[in-house]
A = this chain, B = another copy of it.
Amino acid sequence: MNNNSHPIGVFDSGVGGLTVAKELRKLLNQEKIIYFGDTARVPYGNKSRETIIKFALESVLFLLKQNVKLVLIACNTSSSIALPVIRQYFRIPIIGVVNPAVRESVYATRNRRIGVIGTRATISSKIYEQEIRRLDSTIKVFAQSCPLFVPLVEEGWWDGEVVEGIVRSYLLPLKENKIDTLILACTHYPLLKKVIGKVMGENVVLIDSAREAAIEVKKILGEENLLCLEKRRGEKLVCFVTDKSESFKKIGEKFLGDKIKEIYEIKE
């Protein structure tokens, strides 16, 4: 059976993964994308390990029913906590956003001091430290959870004095630790890149996990002979959500940088 023309499945706790879908579309314009956003239960970031794993399993099963050829877990929380457990269950490749960003950060750092920012669950999992040290045990990792960044981004507050104050409160300890590379380990954070860059200074390299994950997907599809061979362009993106609200479309289109034409609600 030839799966090349099957869609890529992207799963996130909510709307954030559309920043990853945006990067996928840039690199893999001929691929159809099925996006699943668990908007009825978003956010995952403060929830427990067991719950996050259960939700990830349900989401992957949903995407499998849509005949996807690969699943990209766009949610950092879920990639950190659920992916190591559930990866082994399925035959198709399941890719997270952690390892691509880790590899890029290890490549980028000069002084061997890397910062990681993410949700509380992502940071508590210590997966970034663990994966970075596996590649280079001499690197020092400084991690900081920033639970207000997701609501800030979803509220559309992406710059300005108040936002800078919040960003500074969280990032000051990382700055004092003289990191030269910072992993934005949450799909929402690229929207705060400007302010984060300003606060950290221009000598700190910001690693955008969305972009790195898209590069990884292209690589894996190539290796597994799963790239779409038809000469399609601008293939469609179909979104499924567990709660259909006005804000998904509104914020989602900002994240995707394009109109979202098809959004369907599914019941848990």
A interface residue numbers (CB < 8 A to B): 39-41, 46-48, 51, 120, 147-148, 150-152, 154-155, 157, 161-162, 165-166, 169, 242-245, 247, 268
* Contact between B155 and A48, CB atoms less than 8 A apart: no
Q: Which of B39, B51, B268 contacts A243 (CB 8 A)?
A: B51
Q: What residues of B have a CB within 8 angstroms of the CB of A46 in the complex?
A: 154, 245, 247
Q: Which of B41, B162, B245, B268 contacts A48 (CB 8 A)?
A: B245
CB A77 to nearest CB in B, in angstroms, measures 12
CB A2 to nearest CB in B, in angstroms, measures 39
Q: What residues of B have a CB within 8 angstroms of the CB of A51 in the complex?
A: 40, 242-243
- Would you mind naming 13 contact pairs between A and B with Cβ atoms under 8 Å apart? A39-B47, A40-B47, A40-B51, A46-B154, A46-B247, A47-B243, A48-B244, A48-B245, A147-B155, A148-B151, A148-B157, A151-B151, A162-B166
CB A37 to nearest CB in B, in angstroms, measures 12
CA distance A40 to B51 in the complex (A): 7
Closest to A155 in B: B147
Q: What residues of B have a CB within 8 angstroms of the CB of A243 in the complex?
A: 47-48, 51
10 smallest CB-CB distances across A and B, nearest first, come from A151-B151, A162-B165, A51-B243, A48-B245, A41-B41, A47-B243, A147-B155, A48-B243, A40-B51, A148-B151
CA distance A109 to B51 in the complex (A): 45
Closest to A245 in B: B48
Q: What residues of B have a CB within 8 angstroms of the CB of A40 in the complex?
A: 41, 47, 51
Q: What residues of B have a CB within 8 angstroms of the CB of A268 in the complex?
A: 268
CA distance A48 to B148 in the complex (A): 22
CA distance A244 to B50 in the complex (A): 9
CA distance A165 to B41 in the complex (A): 29
Q: What residues of B have a CB within 8 angstroms of the CB of A39 in the complex?
A: 47
CA distance A245 to B51 in the complex (A): 10
CA distance A78 to B268 in the complex (A): 20
CB A59 to nearest CB in B, in angstroms, measures 14
